[in-house]
Amino acid sequence: MEHRLRLRVRYGETDCMGRVYHPNYLSYMECGRVEAMREWGFNYADTERQEDCFLPVIEAWVKYRAPAEFDDELEVISSVEDYSFVRLTFVYEVRRVRDDVLCAEGRVFLAAVDREGEPRRLPKDLRSFLETLDLPPERERRRRNRTGSGVVR
Amino acid sequence: MEHRLRLRVRYGETDCMGRVYHPNYLSYMECGRVEAMREWGFNYADTERQEDCFLPVIEAWVKYRAPAEFDDELEVISSVEDYSFVRLTFVYEVRRVRDDVLCAEGRVFLAAVDREGEPRRLPKDLRSFLETLDLPPERERRRRNRTGSGVVR
Amino acid sequence: MEHRLRLRVRYGETDCMGRVYHPNYLSYMECGRVEAMREWGFNYADTERQEDCFLPVIEAWVKYRAPAEFDDELEVISSVEDYSFVRLTFVYEVRRVRDDVLCAEGRVFLAAVDREGEPRRLPKDLRSFLETLDLPPERERRRRNRTGSGVVR
Amino acid sequence: MEHRLRLRVRYGETDCMGRVYHPNYLSYMECGRVEAMREWGFNYADTERQEDCFLPVIEAWVKYRAPAEFDDELEVISSVEDYSFVRLTFVYEVRRVRDDVLCAEGRVFLAAVDREGEPRRLPKDLRSFLETLDLPPERERRRRNRTGSGVVR
């Protein structure tokens, strides 16, 4: 279940090479998952404030494919790739809208913690929602991660 | 009592015009006052965590004089211009070290609040410290603010 | 002629005080004027690339009125306040959408320069457009700037 | 050949979770390699401006181990892990100075391009310098990358 978010590159997100400064793709991906979660019925701000569930990034990988420039319209395509009782993995593509060029792809691993930073389970209804997604069986996901481009755990 | 902090322009602090992205000077000024306060015996992180005194910026003014570029070494010159029981004003110059060119000057107004955002007094020993500074009488400061470049309150 | 842009506070735009980090309002204001210019028929990216006209900020003033937090929807209200052959001044309000609270207001002064940083005139059609705006006579604008909150030049 | 850079977490580098916003570690790592290169005799700003050699990040991986907070002093430990005629790989540790806790580790892949973004060789003297480093044989590096934590290519 893919989520697509459009955003425009802001002036301050570029660097003196004239392109998006590379760490900013991680922010775009974050915007993508916040909006994806909102569309799926989970307001991340409320998850933090009301359910005491924070989802810090514990690992991130980005592959930069083509530069994006100021004012380029980008599409951030977010999908859940994997999850467990305590973790969640998103995969991303960031594409330039005008020519559909892939600017970056990435994978971001999140872990559920409470306000004190102690590990906790994902909220029950988020977990229930994830179970409704059509994710490939865990074994295959593991195999794919091992052999495809990306991060080995 | 001036404080001088040297820092180097980071790649990500520039924009596609090839110069420091203008809002970043407010961050440099913040670094300046954090280090100034440390030198004066006040650890701002402790002031927040231990004394429940936060100093959010309530007003800021920056005049941009000359561009700074990636890897330029800058000197942030911070001075307290004014204070009251609940407020503090810093004035700044940001100079390029290699040729002593003034890149930006500014004035930043801070107000003391507690964790809930309620106004409170400046910590007593910070106030005592400020009283030891050789600041011009309030009347003159007011006059100067009215007629010089800067912000009228 | 006001332009209104809605945007959402991103996670990375907040700081450990739990609110929008103050320099980021200058970025919001920049987004506001880029979108305002687009609506008025001027693509700022093209102005830079095709007309060799850059509009760096030469002075900025922000008054912070109320904090905005992660995921708050904000409205950036941008208007041209003043202009000359070589300069342009925008005034701003940034309001929280849910309760229409004013979070910040500001004034940003831009100067037209070419790629080398040399002063130049505003592009002719931008100037023509500005003349169609219903701006108060210059004398009154000057008086207002002197006596209202804001920056004295 | 490790390079160690100390820096302090700035207020604006934190987020509303009270810790360093995760993309900022990529900026810290960039500061690390800029300073490492300077120590090794290569001024990266000059490499760009005078030799028309840019080193954009083409891939990055970060593993977040422990949070860092405002005002924490960090040590960024940078080493070249691998290189070829056209690429360069750095590995990093970012440690909290007061208790030597590992906050993050990462691996960043750079490719040499010219101003137009066309691939080119690393500058000859940088390449000569890299040859003096005591790097393990390529075969072993490849094996290590495949089985250790990190990115598989």
The ipTM (two decimal places) reads 0.90
Q: Give the model confidence (pLDDT) of C26-77 as tens digits.
A: 999 999 999 999 999 999 999 999 999 999 999 999 999 999 999 999 999 9
Please report the residues numbered 82 through 121 in chain A whose beta carbons come closer than 8 angstroms to any beta carbon of chain C.
Answer: none
Q: Which helix (H) or strand (E) holds B152?
A: strand B150-152
pLDDT tens, chain B, 153 aa long = 899 999 999 999 999 999 999 999 999 999 999 999 999 999 999 999 999 999 999 999 999 999 999 999 999 999 999 999 999 999 999 999 999 999 999 999 999 999 999 999 999 989 999 999 878 766 556 655 554 444 443
Mean pLDDT (chain A) is 91
Give the chain B residue whose CA is nearest to the CA of D70: B45
> How far is A82 from chain C, CA to nearest CA, in Å?
23
DSSP state of A122: P
Record the tokens describing residue D90, joined without a space: 């750095």
Which residues, 6 or more positions from C140, have their beta carbon under 8 angstroms from its beta carbon? none
Alpha carbon distance, N-terminus to C-terminus of chain A: 24
B33 and chain C in contact, CB less than 8 A: no
Residues making up chain B, counted from first to last: 153
pLDDT of C107 higher than 90: yes
- Global pTM reads 0.92
A152 and chain B in contact, CB less than 8 A: no
What are the chain C neighbours of D21 within 8 Å (beta carbons)?
11-12
Q: Give the model confidence (pLDDT) of A103-116 as tens digits.
A: 999 999 999 999 99
Cα–Cα nearest to A56, from D104, D8, C17: D104
Q: What local confidence, expressed as pLDDT, does residue C148 receive? A: 41
Q: Point out the residue among D12, D15, D19 whose CB comes nearest to the CB of C23.
A: D12
Cα–Cα nearest to C150, from C111, C109, C112, C101: C109
Give the chain D residue whose CA is nearest to the CA of C71: D16
The number of C-beta contacts closer than 8 angstroms across C and D is 28
Q: Point out the residue among B12, B31, B43 whose CB comes nearest to the CB of D10.
A: B31
DSSP codes joined into one string, D46-84: HHHHHH--B--EEEEEEEE-S---TT-EEEEEEEEEEE-
